[in-house]
Copies of this chain bind each other. A is one copy, B any other.
Amino acid sequence: MIAPPDNELQLTKLFPIIGWLKTYTRQNFNDDLFAGIITSILLVPQGIAYAILAGLPPQLGLYASILPPVVYALLGTSRTLSVGPVSIAAIMIASALTAPEVSALGNPVQNALILSAESGLIMLLMALLRMGGLVNFISHPVLTGFTSGASILIIANQLPLTLGLKSPACGIEMGCYIGYLQTSNIITLLISITAFALLLFFGKPLSAALKRVGLNLTLVTAISKCGPLLTVLLATLAVNYFNLAAQFNVAVVGQVPSGFPVLSLNFINAEKWRILLTYAAFIALIAYVESVAIAKVTANLRGEKIVPNQELIALGAANLATAISGGMPVAGGFSRTMVNFSAGARTQMAMLIAAGILALAVIFFSARFENIPKAALAAIILVAIFGLVRIKHVFHTWNYDRGDGLAELATLLGVLILGIEEGIVLGIILTIARNLRKTSHPHIAVVGRIPETGYYRNIKRHSVETWHHLLLVRIDENITFANINYIEDYLAAELGRQPNIKHIVLIFTSVSDIDTTALEVLEKFNHALQASGKTLNITEAKGPVLDKLKKTDFIKQLKPGQIFFHTEDAVKALV
């Protein structure tokens, strides 16, 4: 095979779509068509529901489901990620829009578009600075704790809708809540219960039953994914038929402007941008981290590769696209991506098809969305979100690693008590502080030789030979400003306990770097040793460490202490 010219490679790197279109087959298209239709069935109710969750008119969710997935399809490295409105971003938008300094600005729709544009620009800036690796600094426990906390906030936000309650203004006065609950709407509750029953039935029970009947697997998939659409359809028919909105005060979506969104830049406003910047940064961070995490899951299952920095470009461009087409901020959605993947999507063509279907729906059917009861949409969100609340996972994490468990719990509680952004920050600070603390107490082992071998092991864990005037110490971490004092104290304490020691041998198997602070302290420590007639020696130093030390006087200063290749050599020379 002849390698393609360089500029073509560059182009494929920026537009991964070129890569897969080259080998695209008829069969791929059939698969993608099916998956695209299935996903679009989910996308309509989700788009409307997440817009309402964010406290926005329904069309902002629908518009966010058209242009952004098209842009992502051109630029993204995931073949199956479904980009559009997502629940976690929606609750973050709700939190931003209701913050006092933001709600004081008025015009929440414009504010939402600014959040889209800003988070898009932030992602592109991060891509420019090659900060794709940033995803590494949010640990899984923090992300899980955050998702649990945000999901609980979503449930608290949506549950009143299933009871037909307006949002409460009770604060901590419990009596008020009783009166508030009495305002619940029985018809709305009936709709909700029916919706829950239908959605749960369309989950595992229906698939199992259909499979038992011997139905074609493709058809089983298709039918079982129709639960949300059917729920919405039936609920809307009921509202229409019995005139529930007018007669029984059932809350409905309300008018959705018909037709395609008009591209527009009328959200440019310097003062608002400044106030919304922090919120946009958090939305960008979480949208990016969650999207990459989801993209990696499906990519791993198919042996495909996600390029984090290209994802920043794709998601950033998708968010700019949603801003100019009047949509809310977007990210890769977990449930939709899994539906798309399991419906057999091969490439982003499926998402292009879904976006096309959504565009048609918006143009021709948006008048029909008016009477969708909010309770049915809330039921869809709640069924999807319950699984994301993973309180038990905190104990699971705690059991494996206390520090991680603590970070997960703190993030979860932080999101609930302090706020969404504060919760993330708390989690990140705890993980970094913990990481620093861990490096400041490195694992150090006094080692001895396992008899008749060349292996040296911890004297506390193995029965080993030792020599009374020789101290062999293995330092199991890079030596830096953060841990050199601990190491110095450890060695001084060992010398205090064993005054016979004449030679200290530091074993550097695990040391990949010695920073300036550590070198300076080691130099002083060596001088103090020499003053009391002892020597400092080093073995098993790796190439990069030796290269760095050779730039200094340290090796000369060690004399009569030496640098040995193997611990065995040091023992032979010094015993």
> Which residues of B sit under 8 angstroms from A370, Cβ to Cβ?
none
Cα of A440 to Cα of B138 in the assembled complex, Å? 12
Q: Contact between B510 and A509 (Cβ–Cβ < 8 Å)?
A: yes
> Which residues of B sit under 8 angstroms from A481, Cβ to Cβ?
136-140, 431
The answer to the question of A133 belonging to the interface, with a C-beta cut-off of 8 Å to chain B, is: yes
Q: Would you give the 0/1 interface string for A291-305, flagging 1 where the beta carbon is closer than 8 Å to chain B? A: 000000000100101
Q: Contact between B438 and A432 (Cβ–Cβ < 8 Å)?
A: no
> Which residues of B sit under 8 angstroms from A476, Cβ to Cβ?
510, 512, 542
How many chain A residues touch B (CB < 8 A): the figure is 61
The answer to the question of A183 belonging to the interface, with a C-beta cut-off of 8 Å to chain B, is: no
Given the interface contacts A432-B432, A458-B543, A512-B442, does A482 sit within 8 Å of B400 by beta carbon? no
The answer to the question of A517 belonging to the interface, with a C-beta cut-off of 8 Å to chain B, is: yes
Smallest Cβ-Cβ distance to A524: which chain B residue: B300
Scan residues 301-327 of chain A and give those whose CB is less than 8 A from a CB of chain B: 303, 305
Q: Contact between B136 and A486 (Cβ–Cβ < 8 Å)?
A: yes
Scan residues 528-562 of chain A and give those whose CB is less than 8 A from a CB of chain B: 528, 532, 542-544, 548, 551-552
> Which residues of B sit under 8 angstroms from A542, Cβ to Cβ?
443, 458, 476
The minimal Cβ–Cβ distance linking A462 to chain B, given in whole angstroms, is 9
> Which residues of B sit under 8 angstroms from A136, Cβ to Cβ?
440, 481-486
Given the interface contacts A443-B512, A509-B509, does A399 sit within 8 Å of B436 by beta carbon? no
Scan residues 88-145 of chain A and give those whose CB is less than 8 A from a CB of chain B: 133, 135-141
The answer to the question of A439 belonging to the interface, with a C-beta cut-off of 8 Å to chain B, is: yes
Scan residues 143-170 of chain A and give those whose CB is less than 8 A from a CB of chain B: none
Q: Contact between B139 and A516 (Cβ–Cβ < 8 Å)?
A: yes
Given the interface contacts A303-B532, A485-B135, A552-B400, does A443 sit within 8 Å of B544 by beta carbon? yes
Q: Would you give the 0/1 interface string for A482-497, flagging 1 where the beta carbon is closer than 8 Å to chain B? A: 1111100000100000
The minimal Cβ–Cβ distance linking A347 to chain B, given in whole angstroms, is 21
Cα of A513 to Cα of B443 in the assembled complex, Å? 9
Q: Contact between B435 and A482 (Cβ–Cβ < 8 Å)?
A: yes
> Which residues of B sit under 8 angstroms from A77, Cβ to Cβ?
none
> Which residues of B sit under 8 angstroms from A405, Cβ to Cβ?
516
The answer to the question of A520 belonging to the interface, with a C-beta cut-off of 8 Å to chain B, is: yes
* 14 A-B pairs with C-beta separation under 8 A: A133-B485, A136-B481, A136-B486, A139-B480, A140-B517, A400-B551, A400-B552, A401-B548, A405-B516, A435-B480, A439-B439, A442-B512, A443-B513, A477-B477
Chain A residues within 8 Å of B, Cβ to Cβ = 133, 135-141, 300, 303, 305, 397, 399-401, 403-405, 431-432, 435-436, 438-440, 442-443, 454-455, 458, 461, 476-478, 480-486, 492, 509-510, 512-513, 515-517, 519-520, 524, 528, 532, 542-544, 548, 551-552, 566
